[in-house]
Structure 1
Amino acid sequence: MGERTRVKICGITRVEDGLAACAAGADAVGLVFYPPSPRAVTIEQAVAIRRALPPFVTVVGLFVNADRETVVETARAVHLDLLQFHGDESRAQCELSAMPYMKAIRVSDDVDLGEMSRRYAGAKALLLDTHDDKLWGGSGRTFDWDAVPADLELPVVLAGGLSPANVADAIRRLRPYGVDVSGGVEQAPGIKDAARIAKFIEEVDRVSIAERTG
């Protein structure tokens, strides 16, 4: 593995949590624009978080089956850098906003990840999450990492049940472009734990360095 695995801290709802993520070395922060989620933010909250962040941090907006107008207006108001589509959006729907995006895929036995990487060929990455019939994400559970082919055509961002305790093993096994964590670094849904964020990123850096030098 030639480069450090990137880290996205998702479900940021407070300015102080966004700043804690950046101080710990996060490459990206995720803002959830899906009202049913306990980690959802309003435009006003998102703008306040965005304004407080330092430069060179990617701000990602998460949407679930939202219409184009909502996505475009939110992206413009918050100055989002990257969109994350976490629902049943087609490639055409993902590309309507004409912005960089990554597509979340909920991994299950009947999902062909190779086909998904071809279907969403215009995406910057595939974000692989745990399938749950009742949730679009944030289940807190891992999936079978062995189900991920090594030769996908798009970069992989691994999500689903990651924590400081298992992220190093996940990176060693899958060597993803990035990892995405939310519940694994929280005190409660939407309330991050700065110490757990720091430990998570410390584990990512530790295994990334070991892979490069080992």
Structure 2
Amino acid sequence: MARTRVKICGITRSEDALNAVTAGCDAIGLVFYPPSPRHVSLEQAREIVSSLPPYVSVVGLFVNPDAEFVTKAVDYVGLTCLQFHGDESPEFCNQFETSWYKAIRVQASTNLYDCVKDYQEASALLLDTYKAGVPGGTGETFNWSLIPDDLTKPIILAGGLEPSNVASAIEQVRPYAVDVSGGVEAEKAIKSNEKMIAFVNEVLK
């Protein structure tokens, strides 16, 4: 079986990005959502990306963005993938000439088969925890048994993952990738090198 990929999201510093790559992550996430404590400007993001070695995916996270801003971020920062975490329509997401995937905040009433059908052009679905009024970064897990095992899209599992639970999450869900942010932080928006290493080691063991 192919190994589970790892994305470390909410990177705000070049040193954290480099430590994440050294720990073994496949992708870093940059948050372009001003209300988030992990928000970065285009200038910060470009500086972070310029410090990366080759073969690391750079994902831009957006919440109901202006299309012009997304295009600017792709060109200026060098984003290789887009993550839409708001109420974006399939038509909105699909207008950019960049690979993208859609975040779905899962609750008992969520029909993930319909989500796959609605976002058929997406490269994957990211499944996160539903919390009213919060687009993501809740630090809380959701009921993984709500995820059918026969979805036809690659699944990126997010929501409350940390070194202590990611192995059991992978065993239960068998996702294509896992996405972590707060679970590997030393403090808000600052990553812990030790936690990132521990997280990746748990994924790969």
Aligned-partner Cα distance in 1 for 2:181–2:199: 11
Q: What's 1:83 paired with?
A: 82
Aligned-partner Cα distance in 1 for 2:147–2:64: 25
Which has the larger displacement, 61-70 or 91-100? 91-100
Identity of aligned residues (%): 54
Whether 1:193 aligns to 2:180 is no
What's the RMSD between the two structures over aligned residues?
Answer: 0.6
Structure-1-length-normalised TM-score: 0.95
Work out whether residues 12 and 30 of structure 1, in 8 Å CA contact, stay in contact via their aligned partners in 2.
Answer: yes
Q: What's 1:161 paired with?
A: 160
Q: What's 2:44 paired with?
A: 45
Q: Deviations over 1:143-195 (max 9, x none)?
A: 00000000111000000000000000000001000000000000112100000
Q: Deviations over 1:20-40 (max 9, x none)?
A: 000001000000000000000
Q: What's 1:108 paired with?
A: 107
Amino acid of the residue matched to residue 121 of structure 1?
A: Q
How do 1:11-90 and structure 2 match up within 5 A?
11-90=10-89
SS at match of 1:171: helix
User: 4+ residue stretches of structure 1 with deviation over 3 A?
Assistant: none
Which has the larger displacement, 155-164 or 102-111? 102-111
Aligned-partner Cα distance in 2 for 1:153–1:119: 12
Structure-2-length-normalised TM-score: 0.99
CA-CA distance at 1:98 after TM superposition: 2.6
CA-CA distance at 1:134 after TM superposition: 2.4
Q: What's 1:119 paired with?
A: 118
Q: Which runs of 5+ in 2 are unaligned?
A: none
Q: What's 1:145 paired with?
A: 144
Q: Which runs of 5+ in 1 are unaligned?
A: 207-214
Aligned-partner Cα distance in 1 for 2:197–2:144: 24
Amino acid of the residue matched to residue 49 of structure 1?
A: I
Q: What's 1:210 paired with?
A: none
Equivalent residue pairs, number: 205
Aligned-partner Cα distance in 1 for 2:108–2:87: 17
Work out whether residues 118 and 153 of structure 1, in 8 Å CA contact, stay in contact via their aligned partners in 2.
Answer: no
SS at match of 2:149: coil
